């Protein structure tokens, strides 16, 4: 049957992910993949979560296995509010909505705030899932290039001053950005909030990687500078404990939380209550501290190994950043090279990456860029994989 006449306009606008298409090529077990942005499953606190789950089901099964409130399991909302308040964010339980992953928080932000044709400021490059989400709401994009320090507030001010029509939302990942690995300095964060107030726009702050901090010093979120409810803050359980539990949260003004909760009712009724109950106990029991120490120690070692091997094996013409935390290293090759066409050569050498063009708002941008992920690859595999990839790039530069 031909279903084409039944598809909605939004479905017809959707395009398959460039990343998903390329990753079909790297499923062989002998390929060293720096492509997937997933945490290392060996570091999941499996035994601890099993113990907590067993206790929850035995003692709270009637509650935890039942439907729950759309806004979220109150004990978890309370724990998240306490957790964020300890980070300098002004919030109570009334500011918290539990979501099915932070991606749902992004979707609900668009569903609640965006009308077709309205403009969103996005970083360039930016998170593919964010771009796809806002594109689904027929948003227009106003991209602003980012460097190793993320968005430049002066550039945001300049763009907003001349923009017509005025954007409603700025979407940013200011801490250990995906894909570029950049981090905005705190002084720039305060400036960005002042510019948002000046131009009366909202900021969606996506912070899935903020806890994976290799600097040893706290990095204040944009939300912690927010005094008038201008920032919608998205957090996630996925990178710190378990993505399979599909838990995230929104911290925002109670009026926004109420609207987003109504929108969520039409999406999934409620987030998995059992997962929420387990996460609430995980926070309450103080287990997060040890988990973070373990994963930060491991991921930082892998980042250091990757950067060292890049310096040894990559051509000097390739520029890579030095992420302060998170999952990703961003690379830029000479403009004459194309990481899309080089991808098949990399796969032939049994190594994979993500092409950078997937993270731009328009086709055929960033064709000389790529993203490398170190978090789920052992240090030995990183050494071998970067050596292989370096060989591919050395040959490409000699024979462009």
Work out the burial of residue 125: count CB atoms within 10 Å of its CB; fewer than 13 is exposed, 13-18 middle, 19 or more buried: buried
Using one digit for the tens of pLDDT, what is the confidence trace for 344-372?
999 999 999 999 999 999 989 999 999 99
Give the per-residue pLDDT at 371: 97
Give the per-residue pLDDT at 37: 87
Choose among 193, 89, 179: nearest CA to 130. 179
Give the per-residue pLDDT at 301: 98
Give the per-residue pLDDT at 23: 60
Distance, in Å, from the CA atom of 175 to the CA atom of 205, rounded to the nearest integer, reads 9
User: Which CATH code fits 7-36+290-398?
Assistant: 3.90.1150.10
Give the per-residue pLDDT at 141: 97
Distance, in Å, from the CA atom of 207 to the CA atom of 231, rounded to the nearest integer, reads 12
Give the per-residue pLDDT at 30: 87
Using one digit for the tens of pLDDT, what is the confidence trace for 366-379?
999 999 999 999 99
Q: Which H helix or E strand runs over 141?
A: strand 140-145
**Does position 134 have pLDDT exceeding 90, yes or no?**
yes
**Does position 7 have pLDDT exceeding 60, yes or no?**
yes
Choose among 298, 382, 278: nearest CA to 41. 298
Q: Which H helix or E strand runs over 261?
A: helix 254-265
Using one digit for the tens of pLDDT, what is the confidence trace for 209-236?
999 999 999 999 999 999 999 999 999 9
DSSP 148: T
pTM comes to 0.96
Please identify which residue in the block is written with the tokens 């387990």: 278
Give the per-residue pLDDT at 27: 63
Residue, of 395 and 36, whose pLDDT is higher: 395
CA torsion through residues 288, 291, 295, 298, sign: positive
* Backbone dihedral angles phi then psi of residue 61, each to the nearest 5 degrees: -55, -40
Distance, in Å, from the CA atom of 119 to the CA atom of 199, rounded to the nearest integer, reads 14
- Whether omega before 179 lies within 30 degrees of 0, making that bond cis, reads yes
Non-local CB neighbours of 284 within 8 Å, separated by 6+ positions: 75, 79
Angle between helices 288-313 and 379-398 (to 10 degrees): 30
Asked if residues 93 and 244 have their Cβ atoms less than 8 Å apart, the reply is no
378 conformational bin, left if phi > 0, alpha if psi -120 to 50, beta if neither: beta
Q: Are strands 319-320 and 248-251 parallel, antiparallel or unpaired?
A: unpaired
Average pLDDT estimate for 291-312? 98
Class of the domain covering 59-287 = alpha beta
Question: 184 in helix, strand or coil?
Answer: coil
Non-local CB neighbours of 324 within 8 Å, separated by 6+ positions: 176, 183, 213, 214, 215, 219
Give the per-residue pLDDT at 353: 95
Distance, in Å, from the CA atom of 224 to the CA atom of 218, rounded to the nearest integer, reads 12
**Does position 25 have pLDDT exceeding 60, yes or no?**
no
- DSSP assignment string, 266-311: TTTSS--HHHHHHHHHHHHTT-HHHHHHHHHHHHHHHHHHHHHHHH
Work out the burial of residue 136: count CB atoms within 10 Å of its CB; fewer than 13 is exposed, 13-18 middle, 19 or more buried: middle
The CA distances from residue 22 to 19, 85, 250, 327, 371, in Å, are 5, 41, 32, 20, 13
DSSP 139: P
Give the per-residue pLDDT at 288: 97
Domain extents in the chain: 7-36+290-398, 59-287
Distance, in Å, from the CA atom of 344 to the CA atom of 38, rounded to the nearest integer, reads 22
Using one digit for the tens of pLDDT, what is the confidence trace for 190-205?
999 999 999 999 999 9
DSSP 325: B
Give the per-residue pLDDT at 17: 67
Distance, in Å, from the CA atom of 174 to the CA atom of 101, rounded to the nearest integer, reads 19
Confidence of residue 22 (pLDDT cuts 50, 70, 90): low
């Amino acid at each position: 049957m031909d279903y084409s006449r039944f598809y909605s306009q939004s479905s017809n606008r959707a395009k398959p992910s460039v990343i998903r298409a390329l990753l079909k090529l790297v499923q062989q077990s002998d390929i060293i993949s720096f492509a997937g942005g997933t945490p290392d499953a060996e570091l999941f606190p499996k035994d601890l979560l099993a113990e907590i789950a067993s206790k929850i089901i035995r003692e709270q099964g009637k509650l935890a296995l039942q439907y729950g409130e759309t806004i979220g399991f109150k004990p978890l909302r309370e724990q998240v509010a306490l957790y964020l308040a300890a980070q300098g964010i002004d919030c109570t339980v009334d500011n918290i909505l539990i979501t099915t992953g932070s991606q749902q928080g992004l979707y609900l932000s668009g569903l609640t705030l965006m009308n077709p044709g309205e403009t969103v400021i996005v970083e360039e490059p930016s998170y593919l899932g964010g771009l796809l989400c806002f594109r689904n709401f027929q948003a227009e994009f106003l991209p602003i290039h980012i460097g190793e320090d993320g968005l430049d507030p002066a550039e945001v001010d300049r763009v907003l001053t001349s923009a017509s029509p005025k954007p409603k939302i700025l979407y940013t990942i200011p801490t250990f950005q995906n894909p570029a690995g950049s981090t905005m300095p705190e002084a720039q964060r305060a400036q960005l909030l002042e510019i948002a107030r000046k131009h009366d726009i909202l900021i969606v702050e996506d912070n899935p990687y903020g806890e994976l901090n290799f600097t040893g010093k706290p990095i204040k979120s944009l939300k912690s500078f927010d005094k008038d409810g201008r920032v919608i803050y998205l957090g996630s359980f996925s990178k710190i404990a378990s993505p399979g539990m599909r838990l995230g949260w929104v911290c925002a003004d109670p009026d926004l939380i109420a609207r987003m909760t109504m929108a969520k009712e039409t999406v999934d009724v409620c987030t998995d209550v059992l997962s929420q109950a387990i996460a609430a106990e995980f926070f309450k029991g103080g287990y997060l501290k040890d988990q973070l120490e373990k994963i930060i120690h491991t991921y930082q070692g892998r980042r250091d190994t990757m950067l060292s091997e890049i310096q040894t094996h990559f051509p000097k013409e390739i520029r890579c950043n030095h992420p302060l935390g998170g999952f990703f290293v961003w690379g830029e090759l000479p403009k004459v090279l194309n990481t899309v066409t080089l991808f098949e050569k990399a796969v032939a050498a049994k190594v994979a990456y993500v092409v950078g063009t997937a993270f731009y708002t328009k086709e055929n941008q960033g064709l000389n860029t790529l993203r490398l992920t170190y978090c789920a690859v052992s240090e030995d595999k990183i050494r071998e994989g970067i050596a292989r990839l370096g060989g591919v790039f050395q040959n490409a530069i000699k024979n462009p």
